[in-house]
Chain A
Amino acid sequence: MTNLFNYIDRPSPIHRLTGACKLVCLLLWSVAAMTSFYTPLLAALTVAALILFRTAKLRVKDISFTLGAMIVYVILNNVLIYLFSPGHGAQLYGSRTVLLTLPGRYSLTAEQLFYHLNVVLKNACTIPIVLLFVCTTNPSEFAASLNRIGVSYRISYAVALTLRYIPDIQREYHDISLAQQARGVEMSKKASLIHRLKAASTILIPLVLSSLDRIEVISNAMELRGFGKGKKRTWYAGRDFSAADWLSMAACALLVLLSLTLTALNGGRFYNPFV
């Protein structure tokens, strides 16, 4: 069965950072990458992301499956953009340099290519960071980190419950699916789409109804133990911030500032080499 969080335990400076710190850094990094279209910044972020990836001692082998899926995803996304608006780049950058004349509106322009480069860079600078977070953060530390960065402990606990019960529900899904197949419900590729949807619902109903019972049992147990009475809660997997944590969070905060200043100085979100 597939592992939810592909946590890979290997001693490295990135692994030693606390989960809360890595979560903050991930969010700040995403914000910096999301708000800016300043190409040099995006390129620099991509290079930095790859260097960080090396520092965490992750190997391409560890993530080859997700990496393959991601590359397919990025390619499809770009093909789709080109199919629907081949003139988007020219429109954004306010000029049109035709490189290759093609029928209809599908002429290849330098502006469109540059726009695609931006889209690819945008994906390339966040994907390694998300993978980094997923591979180097212990799942049980994750909920503790949420509480640490100011999310109410009740919601953090809900996230902890989710992580705790995903394997259980997965197992139950599998069991029910096998039981229904034994009773002759066809859900392989041989059945038609509508048929498969119907087959899925024969698993869904027992799964959901048993989960509702589970909600009842767990909430009673938690209520009996006085959950939610105190203002605060301690976490078994929680850790204190170290100097390295503060340093990396400050660096990421600076990145966001840099991204915002560049947008302001540039007078727009798009870096335009064509004017």
Chain B
Amino acid sequence: MKKFSVKTIVAIGIGAALFFVLGRFVAIPSPVPNTNISVQYGLLAFLTVVYGPIAGALIGFIGHTLIDFSLGSGIWWSWVIASGVFGLLMGLAAKMLKMNEGEIGKKGLVKFNIAQVVCHLVCWMAVAPVLDVYMMGEPWDKLIAQGLTAGIANAVTTAIVGSLLCVAYAATQTKAGSLTKED
């Protein structure tokens, strides 16, 4: 197995804890049952851009598993895996699009949002329903309705929360060439 840096490990640990706290205590119920509007995916998208795909995948996977554990409603493996896949895809997309979290401008935000919408669609419309059909044998129509609601809700909250976090984070970073020589 590839060696992680200590920072990645800590980022996974703290990231998953944040994901858990946001998912568990800040969930806003949506009209479709069993599907919440979750703020945590905005956080996940942001952390993934900062710490990379492997950290993203594990934050999603561990965080979501713990949420399911603590709710006691059984672990919904298909959606847990989908959360992990979202982190992974988002991280890869961020690498491919060469997003730089330290200096995110208008262009960076557009890239970030296109990437997150595509990743959400893939996860909740493809990965989660396919796994659900195999594991639970549930009908497609219902899964697509759930997936669509979850996907859209997650994409919207990611667009708001994720973008806000990216901008706020970029403001705290020192930009390259920010020092100018005094006369």
Interface on A for B, CB 8 Å cutoff? 2, 4-6, 30, 34-35, 37, 63, 66-67, 69-70, 73, 76-77, 79-81, 83-85, 88, 92, 118-119, 122-123, 126-127, 130-131, 133-134, 152, 154-155, 157-166, 168-170, 173, 193, 196-197, 200-201, 204-205, 207-209, 211-212, 214-216, 218-219, 222-223, 227-228, 269-270
The listed residue with most A CB atoms (<10 A of its CB), out of B137, B140, B169, is B137
With beta carbons under 8 angstroms apart, the residue of B21, B58, B136, B172 that contacts A158 is: B58
Q: Mark B21-57, 1 if CB is under 8 A from A, else 0.
A: 1100110100011100001001100100010000000
Give the shortest distance, in Å, between B160 (CB) and chain A (any CB): 6
Interchain CB contact under 8 A, B165 and A85: no
The answer to whether residues A211 and B14 also contact, given A80-B33, A122-B136, A204-B39 and a CB cut-off of 8 A, is yes
Inter-chain CA distance A227–B7, complex, in Å, is 11
The answer to whether residues A76 and B33 also contact, given A158-B62, A159-B62 and a CB cut-off of 8 A, is yes
The listed residue with most B CB atoms (<10 A of its CB), out of A126, A159, A269, is A159
Interface majority SS on B: helix, strand, loop or mixed?
Answer: helix
Inter-chain CA distance A144–B143, complex, in Å, is 36
Q: Which residues of B contact A207 (CB under 8 A)?
A: 18
Give the shortest distance, in Å, between A46 (CB) and chain B (any CB): 12
The answer to whether residues A152 and B1 also contact, given A80-B33, A161-B14 and a CB cut-off of 8 A, is yes
With beta carbons under 8 angstroms apart, the residue of B26, B75, B139 that contacts A85 is: B139
Q: B81 on the interface (CB 8 Å rule)?
A: no
Interchain CB contact under 8 A, B13 and A161: yes
Residues of B70-88 at the interface with A, using a CB-CB cut-off of 8 Å, are 70-75, 77
Q: Which residues of A contact B73 (CB under 8 A)?
A: 66, 69-70, 73, 127, 130
Inter-chain CA distance A98–B150, complex, in Å, is 34
4 nearest A-B residue pairs (beta carbon):
A161-B13, A66-B72, A85-B139, A76-B33
Interchain CB contact under 8 A, B72 and A157: no
Q: A127-B74, A159-B62, A160-B13 are in contact. List 4 more A-B contacts (CB 8 A).
A: A84-B145, A122-B136, A222-B9, A228-B6
Q: Which residues of B contact A131 (CB under 8 A)?
A: 72
Q: Which residues of A contact B110 (CB under 8 A)?
A: none
The listed residue with most A CB atoms (<10 A of its CB), out of B25, B74, B140, is B74
Give the shortest distance, in Å, between A63 (CB) and chain B (any CB): 7
The answer to whether residues A77 and B4 also contact, given A5-B69, A130-B75, A215-B10 and a CB cut-off of 8 A, is no
Q: Which residues of A contact B6 (CB under 8 A)?
A: 219, 222-223, 227-228
Give the shortest distance, in Å, between B44 (CB) and chain A (any CB): 11
Give the shortest distance, in Å, between A12 (CB) and chain B (any CB): 19
Interchain CB contact under 8 A, A201 and B164: yes
Q: Which residues of B contact A76 (CB under 8 A)?
A: 33-34
The listed residue with most A CB atoms (<10 A of its CB), out of B9, B25, B135, is B9
The listed residue with most B CB atoms (<10 A of its CB), out of A133, A169, A227, is A169
The listed residue with most A CB atoms (<10 A of its CB), out of B50, B58, B139, is B139
With beta carbons under 8 angstroms apart, the residue of B33, B50, B66, B172 that contacts A162 is: B66
A-B contact pairs, 12 of them (CB 8 A): A4-B70, A69-B73, A80-B32, A85-B139, A127-B73, A130-B72, A134-B69, A134-B72, A154-B3, A162-B63, A222-B9, A227-B6
Interchain CB contact under 8 A, B12 and A228: no
Q: Which residues of B contact A162 (CB under 8 A)?
A: 12-14, 16-17, 20, 62-63, 66
Inter-chain CA distance A46–B66, complex, in Å, is 23
The listed residue with most A CB atoms (<10 A of its CB), out of B73, B75, B137, B169, is B73
Interchain CB contact under 8 A, B165 and A218: no
Q: Which residues of B contact A2 (CB under 8 A)?
A: 70
Interchain CB contact under 8 A, A157 and B13: yes
